[in-house]
Chains A and B, each alone.
Chain A
């Protein structure tokens, strides 16, 4: 079956680094997305991985290992505005290329 797991909640300190993990099981993997969602707002796109390795975009990086069914989102130099939920989603070619969504990780940044 299809399944995406990510931690429910994480806490980190301003200025530090945090890694949010995502593991997935799907029969037709066709790419992995990370989205950020602030409370009461819509999700916004952060990153996309389809090949193994690291994609870097400013303070945010995303890593993918297809053989392990594993991804992580790395946030550096944390700022208070990074407090949000981070959603992992996998595109599945056996489901009309639709996204299978994780429940999200709520990240709390403390001063």
Chain B
């Protein structure tokens, strides 16, 4: 059974703290993604990675950084958490897109982060 796991389901942090969100997948997928999801806005891509040590900015990278030292692990870092980063964070993984093949994304359960 394919699986994407995230380190925490719920997290409460204070403004200014450094926050680490970890994501691990066991499907040997090349692509990994970090999204945030807020009511009425849909999924917004923060960063993605298509290979080890590779990263690409998504639509809203400001205030975030990522690390991919191993193929199965993709970490999201909030260098100095702010209240506007309170959100649901979803990690996903997929195979590389090849032509028009179906490379569906598999999602982790999400981390609900609250920054006070």
Interface, chain A (partner B; CB < 8 A): 8, 30-31, 33, 41-45, 48, 50, 87, 89, 91, 96-99, 101-104
Contact = CB atoms under 8 A, between A and B. Distances in A.
Interface string B43-81: 111001010000010100000000000000000000000
B102 interface: yes
A97 B95 CA distance: 11
Interface of B: 40-45, 48, 50, 56, 58, 90, 97, 100, 102, 104-110
Contacts, number: 48
A91 B97 contact: yes
Contacts of A30: 97, 100
B27 to A, nearest CB: 13
Nearest to A8: B40
The interface residues of chain A, by DSSP majority, are classed as: strand
Contacts of A99: 43, 45, 105
15 contacts: A8-B40, A31-B102, A33-B105, A41-B110, A42-B90, A42-B109, A44-B107, A48-B102, A87-B42, A87-B43, A89-B43, A91-B97, A96-B56, A98-B48, A99-B105
Contacts of A87: 42-43
B114 to A, nearest CB: 15
A9 B69 CA distance: 41
Contacts of B106: 45
